[in-house]
């Protein structure tokens, strides 16, 4: 949380600077009083550290920490969603619980509300179709484009998938090339292969 936002939240919550300032209690109070529009935390996963962010509408961002610095992710959310961005791990408990179950092989379908604020109209169609690809299965870029009514837009669909702000939960890793090759992935091809291997979805 940046210093300016922290001071704004302190003022709004009626807090004062003190050596014994309890950041955790402050975050909880700020979240409870609706002073944060975006809550975030980090999550150590088998595919690396993830930054998770949620709004009152739902999960809005999952970012691979080694692919995009947290500061830049937070700045973008501040600019596009709201400057009231607060580290509040408790708000993400259910997201972390489901991610834990997924990586342990116990969860095959996420049940989380999603906030599509960071996605344009075409991307929303592409990712909405992608979200319906079952665990352990794959679809091709061409199939996704055809299914949204744009059969000639396979390349554009690929670009939309590359900009997916909610990977893993919206499983863009399940979209591969028509040749069976993995294709690109925002988290890198190694992670795409790792996720598909976890799900048993690699083509033979």
Whether residue 194 lies in the annotated active site: no
| Burial class of residue 70 (count of CB atoms within 10 Å of its CB; 0-12, 13-18, 19+) | middle
Asked if 188 and 67 touch (Cβ cutoff 8 Å), the reply is: yes
Interior CA angle at 147 toward 155 and 190, to 5°? 50
Single out the catalytic residue among 5, 172, 182, 195.
172
Q: What is the DSSP string of the chain?
A: --HHHHHHHHHHHT----TT--HHHHHHHHHHTT--SEEEEEEEETTEEEEEEEETTEEEEEEETTTS-HHHHHHHHHHHT-S-EEE-GGGGHHHHHHHHHHHTT--SS----B--TTS-HHHHHHHHHHTTSPTT--EEHHHHHHHTT-TT-HHHHHHHHHT-SSTTTS-GGGEE-TTS-----TT-HHHHHHHHHHHT----
Joined together, the tokens standing for residue 22 give 């309890």
Catalytic residues: 172
């Amino acid at each position: 949380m940046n210093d300016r936002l922290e001071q704004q939240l302190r003022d709004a919550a009626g807090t004062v600077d003190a050596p014994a300032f309890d950041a955790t209690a402050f975050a909880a109070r700020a979240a409870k009083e609706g002073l944060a529009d975006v809550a975030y935390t980090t999550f150590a996963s088998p595919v690396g550290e993830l930054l998770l962010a949620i709004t009152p509408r739902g999960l809005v961002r999952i970012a691979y920490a080694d692919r995009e610095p947290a500061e830049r992710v937070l700045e973008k959310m501040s600019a596009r969603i709201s400057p009231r961005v607060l580290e509040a791990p408790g708000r993400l408990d259910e997201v972390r619980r489901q991610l834990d179950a997924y990586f342990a092989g116990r969860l095959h379908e996420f049940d989380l509300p999603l906030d599509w604020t960071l996605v344009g109209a075409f991307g929303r169609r592409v990712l909405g179709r992608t979200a319906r690809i079952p665990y352990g299965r794959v679809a091709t870029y061409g199939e996704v484009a055809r299914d949204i009514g744009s059969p000639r837009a396979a390349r554009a669909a690929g670009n939309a998938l590359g900009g997916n702000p909610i990977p893993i939960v919206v499983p863009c890793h399940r979209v591969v090339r028509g040749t069976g090759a993995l294709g690109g992935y925002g988290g890198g091809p190694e992670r795409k292969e790792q996720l598909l291997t976890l799900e048993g979805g690699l083509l033979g």
